[in-house]
């Protein structure tokens, strides 16, 4: 099977629709989502509706849970927290229940999905060191784990007792015992490439490719300003 893997959409409708157009052209068999459908930008409801209608496999992100009271908003910086409060006010009971029911971890076939670290998914810790990566790799039961949260695409491989990091765009999993793959961010990349990021996983070839697509950033920025959301959430999309 060929999977399209997306995450950290953050209410960015233009980025999400651009990525899904590419995934349709790629003719993937299934879409996976590493969470954070909402937060930061101004179109949470359209993004939730699109993801829900895709019938994809999805896990909860910290913004998803914070907007429905399942994770403390005090852990967020001011611009993120203000967007969470605003987003919560937009949600109907239907969308609130959808977000509340999202699981923290999903396992199927030889794939695991989580938003942040696997060892304590409920804390939404970042994986920033080899030690933190090893904690997740040690409890990973499948060959591959897709995650997000940092908005920076990369691969962390375990081969024997060695942990390797690859910041490229094509990852060969054939020689890895296990792998953590960060698919980057659809809606708010943070790796100095403003294009939306997503991944294609070819199960047969044991390879993952990080792909980028341009979208109408100015439309997203305009909607953020119009909604009265923090200016920082708009400026971050352009740098």
Q: What is the pLDDT of residues 15-42, one digit of tens each?
A: 999 999 999 999 999 999 999 999 999 9
How much is the pLDDT for 49?
Answer: 97
Long-range contacts of 130-137 (CB under 8 A, 24+ apart): 130/163, 130/165, 133/163, 133/165, 133/180, 134/158, 134/163, 136/180, 137/163, 137/178, 137/180
Write phi, then psi, for 54 (nearest 5 degrees). -70, -20
Write down the domain spans for the chain: 2-238
Return the bridge partners of 162, or none: 159
Instruction: Give the closest residue to 30 by CA, choosing from 144, 111, 143, 114.
Output: 111
How much is the pLDDT for 180?
Answer: 97
pLDDT in tens, 75-106: 999 999 999 999 999 999 999 999 999 999 99
How much is the pLDDT for 161?
Answer: 83
What is the average pLDDT value for the chain, to the nearest integer?
96
- Which architecture, in CATH terms, is 2-238? 4-Layer Sandwich (3.60)
How much is the pLDDT for 55?
Answer: 86
């Amino acid at each position: 099977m060929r999977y399209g893997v997306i995450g950290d959409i953050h209410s960015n409708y233009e980025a999400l629709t651009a990525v899904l157009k590419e995934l349709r052209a790629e003719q993937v068999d299934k879409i996976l989502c590493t969470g954070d459908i909402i937060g930061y930008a101004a179109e949470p409801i359209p993004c939730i509706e699109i993801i829900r209608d895709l019938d994809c496999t999805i896990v909860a992100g910290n913004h998803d849970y914070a907007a429905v009271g399942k994770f403390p908003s005090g852990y967020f910086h001011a611009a993120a927290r203000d967007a969470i409060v605003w987003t919560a006010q937009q949600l109907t009971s239907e969308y609130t229940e959808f977000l509340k029911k999202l699981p923290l971890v999903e396992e199927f076939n030889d794939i695991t999905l989580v938003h942040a670290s696997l060892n304590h998914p409920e804390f939404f810790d970042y994986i920033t060191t080899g030690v933190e990566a090893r904690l997740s790799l040690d409890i990973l039961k499948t060959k591959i784990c897709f995650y997000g949260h940092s908005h920076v695409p990369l691969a962390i491989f375990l081969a024997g007792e060695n942990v390797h990091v690859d910041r490229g765009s094509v990852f060969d999993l054939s020689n890895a015992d296990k792998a953590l793959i960060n698919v980057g961010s659809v809606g708010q990349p943070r790796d100095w490439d403003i294009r939306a990021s997503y991944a294609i996983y070819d199960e047969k070839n044991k390879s993952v490719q990080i792909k980028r697509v341009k979208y109408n950033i100015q439309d997203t920025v305009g909607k953020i300003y119009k909604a009265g959301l923090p200016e920082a959430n708009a400026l971050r999309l352009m740098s």
